[in-house]
Amino acid sequence: MDAGPTERTGPTVQLVMGDITIQQVDAIVNAANSTLMGGGGVDGAIHRAAGPELREHCQRLGGCDTGDAKITPGFRLPARWIIHAVGPMWRGGDRGEPDLLSSCYRRSLELADEVGASSIAFPAISTGVFGFPIDAAARIAVTRVSTTPTRVTDVHFVAFDQATWNAYDTLLRADGDERG
């Protein structure tokens, strides 16, 4: 019988500058589009690094709704799993975007729990071409990760640029988490 996620204050969180595709974690999260077939930014980088097997596998998944996530093997990545989370396009913030983004982080942790992942790396979902303001997105990410019951013990927020680093650093510094 599965006891489910344990109630706790949350996993250890680290802020990392760099490439999410090389993170030494059990699962990485892909900021995917609804087709799951690859795209630009983080999504394209993950698809290129994982190899053509990822695209073939994603073709069988039938896409993914905004605010939800699906999981695939990591194929050629160091991570065993890729969790494809479809964040919302920013349309001013009054069309449910914050709730949908929060749902991406919650669903990613749920899927990580389902496969027994104890470590996970997140990009800044929806902040690239989807246009979500980085400060608001970082606040949602940090809050959801710290309040979602999970067996994940180690979370990396991976910043690709200085603006993303700064947004997360400000929040995590207040919480006393690590930056690497």
CATH number (domain holding residue 76): 3.40.220.10
For residue 5, tell me if it sits in a domain.
no
Q: pLDDT tens digits for the chain (180 residues)?
A: 344 444 445 799 999 999 999 999 999 999 999 999 999 999 999 999 999 999 999 999 999 999 999 999 999 999 999 999 999 999 999 999 999 999 999 999 999 999 999 999 999 999 999 999 999 999 999 999 999 999 999 999 999 999 999 999 999 988 765 555
For residue 3, tell me if it sits in a domain.
no
Question: CB within 8 A of 133, min separation 6: which ones?
Answer: 90, 127
What range does the domain containing 175 cover?
Answer: 12-179
User: Three-state DSSP class for 21?
Assistant: helix
For residue 87, tell me if it sits in a domain.
yes
Measured CA distances, 169 to 22, 34, 42, 110, 134 (Å): 21, 29, 20, 25, 12
For residue 89, tell me if it sits in a domain.
yes
Overall number of domains in the chain: 1
For residue 48, tell me if it sits in a domain.
yes
At position 178, the amino acid (one-letter code) is E
For residue 7, tell me if it sits in a domain.
no
For residue 23, tell me if it sits in a domain.
yes
State yes or no: is 43 an active-site residue: yes
For residue 4, tell me if it sits in a domain.
no
pTM reported for the whole predicted model: 0.92
- Which residue among 2, 19, 26, 43 is the active-site one? 43
Question: CB within 8 A of 8, min separation 6: which ones?
Answer: 149
CA diameter of the chain: 45
